[in-house]
Structure 1
Amino acid sequence: MSVQSSTEPAAFQRQASGPADHVFGPRDYGLYALTVIAWSASWFAIRLQVGTVPNEVNLVWRFAIATVLMLAWVVVSKRRIRFPLRDHIRFAALGVLMFSSNFLFFYYGAGYLVSGLLSVVFSLASVVNIMLAALVLRERPSPRVLAGGILGFCGIALMFAPEITAHGLSGGTMIGLALCVAGTLCFCLGNQISAAGLRKGLPLIPMSAWGMVYGTLWSALLAVLLGRPFIVEPTISYLGSLLFLAVVSTVVAFSAYLTLLSRIGPARAGYATVLFPIFALLLSTALEGYQWTAFALAGLVFVAVGNVLVIRAGKA
């Protein structure tokens, strides 16, 4: 049996190695914008989730809803749903890393760090993706991509330098940083597994759906082993944020991101994570009264310039 479904779109039927010289088109810009906006808003939604319901259980509810939607998509669109055991091993690894552990580390990190620092650490995914691609996939990033990534990282550092200085690098702050670095590494390793699966011809949507199945099961297993109660907080803010995280931030945004990854590769797709703190801060300015500083404005310029360098690298 062929590893491709005859009903998969042409974008998924080709070998999706994400070439470094791919030129951005309207679809790429749209996927890029959708991913950034949806995941930027998710930081505020996660903030509404943390509290009464245990973190592991939050992930069970979130990905259980997302899994049902993704599997329904697979069935309705008549995509392939049956795969051999070796592929399920890949799906399980993807689920544990990208659809469970990644989030769990950040949920616990939120107990030690402010949300701005969480997004800053997550923005390291752009750099980590480039390093992993170089080590695992033997993809040599172009000087422009490297320069853009460095500029973006420096911009984020400028934006949060005052906050980092105020909180210091000891005690709880270091624990929070370690948790978030672990979460970022899980996310990036999941990127590589997904990209490798696409290169082997596995269809994107079914692979993501099965990954969510295993991610949900992994979170549920952790909840049971740790004795977490399976409860729901019956409030509008909790239920609304849960639906937003499950539908928009998970199903819609992850599908957009993984499609983007298949088209432009993990290095440049991952750079979208550098922009998350920018839009998260814009939301914080509107909803929480965040005060911009000279450092923040300078950092915004650095990130914008770095972003232009990376997404226009294919036109060089």
Structure 2
Amino acid sequence: MTEAAAPQSTRLAILVPFAIVTLIWGSTWIVIRDQIGIVPPSWSVSYRFLIGGAAMFAYAAFRRERVMLDARGWAFATAVAVLQFCLNFNLVYRAEEHITSGLVAVVFALLLVPNAVLGRIFLGQQLGRQLLIGSGVAMAGVALLFAHEAQVDPNGPGEALIGVAITMAGVLAASVANILQGTQTAKRYPMISTLAVAMLIGAVIDAAVAWTLTGPPVIELRAGYLLGLVYLGVVASAIAFTLYFGVLRIIGTAKAAYSSVIVPVIAMLLSTLFEGYRWSPLAAAGAALAMGGLVIALRASRPAR
């Protein structure tokens, strides 16, 4: 089955939310790094999704979108909660205890690979030639970014291996959650209220994990930490996941994962502005290839189902 050209009328409707999600998630790495310290990672994750879930419920109420979940719907929401809002984020936060946020962001760009493979196996999404070429170009860019970040990471090879392994586990959890969002089951339920339920279930599970591993709740009253929680909960979770999963359902899991390919480039640009990051030839070449791969892949038509 060959790919059909995507309607031009949908192009802007896809690219605008895609760009917003990429910009938001490109900024989160700096914020997450600031969250690590006094508060154990699992508690920070729990607070984040408690805020995110509450914000999404408020938005659902504004839209008069009720929670309409049967037993299958609750199972779906719980699976998303465990994979996306518990395992994925707990692993990412813990990875930043071993490697730099830049290296975590670059490794997470590999989300493109399991998304494409699992989307082909479980959703029947075709991988056209243009998408494969774009993916190859982007992965070459990711390899160069990885080489650069590995060179500048101050933690040593042992810590780097641990951090990369933890990040890859998070990538796999996120990819399975992405596949779930591409199924017909996901489309049976209202997205906003279902994601709100999933986030709150995730927050409860995160809290249980945090209490088991580190003890009672810990909070840091520093303004930067609290503002960071609000940003991560409302903007990077409630808004970004709603936009991301909406795009995913239209263009497929492989193309949607390109947000993770561009995120480290955005993160490095922001680091240049706010942290004095200096670009090396490797980093510049990697960023150029990642952006080039994105343009090639997103110009491919919508994958056949």
TM-score by length of structure 1 reads 0.89
Q: Which residue among 263, 275, 284 is the counterpart of 1:288?
A: 275
Give the counterpart letter for 1:309 in structure 2. I
Alignment match, 1:12:
none
Deviation at 1:200, TM superposition (A): 4.5
Alignment match, 2:11:
25
Deviation at 1:130, TM superposition (A): 0.2
Q: Which residue among 225, 232, 254 is the counterpart of 2:219?
A: 232
> Residue 125 of structure 2 contacts residue 252 of structure 2 at CA under 8 Å; is this kept in 1?
no
Alignment match, 1:306:
293
> Residue 22 of structure 1 contacts residue 264 of structure 1 at CA under 8 Å; is this kept in 2?
no
Give the counterpart letter for 2:278 in structure 1. Q
Instruction: Using the aligned pairs only, state the percent identity.
Output: 32
Give the counterpart letter for 1:127 in structure 2. V
> Residue 153 of structure 1 contacts residue 303 of structure 1 at CA under 8 Å; is this kept in 2?
yes
Mark the CA change 1:199 to 1:234 in structure 2 (over 3 Å): closer, same or farther: closer
Q: Which residue among 99, 103, 106 is the counterpart of 1:113?
A: 99
Partners in 2 of 1:240 and 1:207 — Cα distance? 26
- Give the stretch that moved more between structures: 162-171 or 211-220: 162-171
> Residue 68 of structure 2 contacts residue 190 of structure 2 at CA under 8 Å; is this kept in 1?
no
Alignment match, 1:124:
110
Alignment match, 1:91:
77
Deviation at 1:76, TM superposition (A): 2.4
1:40 aligns with 2:38: no
Mark the CA change 1:237 to 1:199 in structure 2 (over 3 Å): closer, same or farther: closer
SS across alignment from 1:299: helix
Q: Please report the RMSD computed on the Cα atoms of aligned residues, expressed in angstroms.
A: 2.0
Give the counterpart letter for 2:269 in structure 1. L
Alignment match, 1:220:
207
Alignment match, 1:11:
none
Partners in 1 of 2:72 and 2:200 — Cα distance? 16
Deviation at 1:224, TM superposition (A): 2.2
- Give the stretch that moved more between structures: 153-162 or 140-149: 153-162
Alignment match, 2:255:
268
Partners in 1 of 2:59 and 2:147 — Cα distance? 43
Structure 1 unaligned runs (5+)?
Answer: 1-18
Structure 2 unaligned runs (5+)?
Answer: none
SS across alignment from 1:124: helix
Please list the CA deviations of residues 52-96 of structure 1 after superposition, one character each: whole Å capped at 9, or x if unmatched: 001111011111111111112222212131311121011000011
Give the counterpart letter for 1:111 in structure 2. E
Give the counterpart letter for 2:231 in structure 1. F
Alignment match, 2:52:
66
Partners in 2 of 1:106 and 1:39 — Cα distance? 13
Deviation at 1:129, TM superposition (A): 0.4
Give the counterpart letter for 1:230 in structure 2. P
> Residue 75 of structure 1 contacts residue 81 of structure 1 at CA under 8 Å; is this kept in 2?
no
1:277 aligns with 2:235: no
SS across alignment from 1:230: coil
Mark the CA change 1:240 to 1:97 in structure 2 (over 3 Å): closer, same or farther: same
> Residue 120 of structure 1 contacts residue 277 of structure 1 at CA under 8 Å; is this kept in 2?
yes
> Residue 66 of structure 1 contacts residue 212 of structure 1 at CA under 8 Å; is this kept in 2?
yes
> Residue 57 of structure 1 contacts residue 228 of structure 1 at CA under 8 Å; is this kept in 2?
no
SS across alignment from 2:278: coil
Partners in 2 of 1:49 and 1:298 — Cα distance? 31
1:176 aligns with 2:168: no
> Residue 135 of structure 2 contacts residue 297 of structure 2 at CA under 8 Å; is this kept in 1?
yes
Partners in 2 of 1:271 and 1:116 — Cα distance? 17
Give the counterpart letter for 2:127 in structure 1. P
Partners in 1 of 2:203 and 2:74 — Cα distance? 14
Partners in 1 of 2:291 and 2:187 — Cα distance? 34
Partners in 2 of 1:99 and 1:213 — Cα distance? 9
